[in-house]
Amino acid sequence: MHRLAAILAAFAFVATSAVAQTYPNKTVKIIVPFAAGGPADLYARVIAEKLQQALGQSFVVEDRPGGGSIIGTDAVKQSAADGYTLLMMSNTHTVNESLIADKPFKLMTDFVPVAPVNYSDLVMVIHPSVPAKDLKEFIALAKSKPGQLNYASSGPGTPYHMAGELFKAMAGVNIVHVPYKGSSGARTDLLGGQVQMMFDAIPTMAPNVRAGKLRALGTSGEHRSSVLPDVPTVSEAGVPGYEATIWLGIMAPRGTPKEVVDKLNAEITRAANSPETKAEWAKQGAVAMSMTPDQFDKYLRQDIEKWAKVVKISGAKQDQ
């Protein structure tokens, strides 16, 4: 019996090793559950290109926005757990674990962590028609007109939404959340003056700030951004202790072979942390991340707990 078990174990090892050695032998799809043109889409394409070069197979990016990441994420859950369909995810997903109770999936049950990609700060911007030259003036304006100002986001639970809710809670203001199906629509309406304020990714919004199309009131990190060095942090500009970031990572359907996960982790980590990539991302205000699958699993669980507290304190709701 022991000999049979040993033989079966040996066969299993050979089989899984063969899977890792031959993977990938066809096109791999990376589903981005956010709108085209946003940071998840842009960085997914960078990673896809690097993986294609390293592994010799096509890695294609498919944008499936909607539902604050729910639609695209569920599509990955329904896919085969073979490493040929991957999910580009963000802290939207860890927020949604407490914000949206009736999701068709549970993040840490239906998916396996593969690797983090990078993180970056956000920038708080307002339309030039808003009569506020800095953050303190904006807070004063919001307090004088409770419920009359609004801010856009790419959907419930996204980093842009939660950055806004955290700001409202810490600044003590009542600003109405206007959710969109993606960041592109939110950005377009902000530029058009249909909404007054938005938290957005610095690399995406910096050109509009430099062109004078929008006014930056603060960045969301602990330190000023190298991309917008003249813009103070929200913390130093009027809301002490404020901090919010957007980070990105890759997950796969639960059941994806460990050997495939480990291979992807090694290649994604190598791609994100190459000197060339790090230098290019630094210009955009993004910082590469590096973790093993187990470390990323722990990181995700801690982030879920963190945002559960923010959701509770802010009173954020799915339909806000």
Residue 205, amino acid: M
What pLDDT, on the 0 to 100 scale, is given for residue 319? 58
Identify the band that residue 309 occupies on the pLDDT scale cut at 50, 70 and 90.
confident
The verdict on 216 and 80 lying in the same domain is no
The verdict on residue 320 lying in a domain is no
The domain that holds 100 is classified in CATH as 3.40.190.150
The verdict on 27 and 77 lying in the same domain is yes
Q: At what angle do helices 293-314 and 159-171 cross, to 10 degrees?
A: 40
Among the candidates 208, 237, 266, a domain finishes at 237
CA distance 39 to 42: 5
pLDDT in tens, 5-63: 666 665 555 555 566 789 999 999 999 998 888 889 999 999 999 999 999 999 999 99
The verdict on residue 6 lying in a domain is yes
CA 28 to chain centre: 21
The verdict on 95 and 132 lying in the same domain is no
The domain that holds 181 is classified in CATH as 3.40.190.10
How many domains would you assign to the chain? Answer: 2
- Any idea what DSSP says for residue 232? P
Buried b (16+ CB within 10 A) or exposed e, 142-164: beeeeeebbbbbbbbbbbbbbbb
For residue 177, CA distances in Å to 12, 268, 286 come to 52, 35, 26
The verdict on residue 319 lying in a domain is no
The verdict on 98 and 6 lying in the same domain is yes
Contact 128/212 with Cβ under 8 angstroms? yes
CA distance 301 to 288: 20
Domain residue limits at 148: 121-237
The verdict on residue 292 lying in a domain is yes
The verdict on residue 125 lying in a domain is yes
State both tokens at 170: 């810490």
Tokens 């923010």 identify what position? Answer: 310
CA distance 244 to 220: 5
What pLDDT, on the 0 to 100 scale, is given for residue 38? 82
Residue 139, amino acid: I
The verdict on 95 and 138 lying in the same domain is no
Tokens 């810490």 identify what position? Answer: 170
| Residue 263 DSSP SS3 | helix
Among the candidates 212, 237, 262, a domain finishes at 237
Averaged pLDDT, 247-253: 97
pLDDT in tens, 90-132: 999 999 999 988 999 999 999 999 999 999 999 999 999 999 9
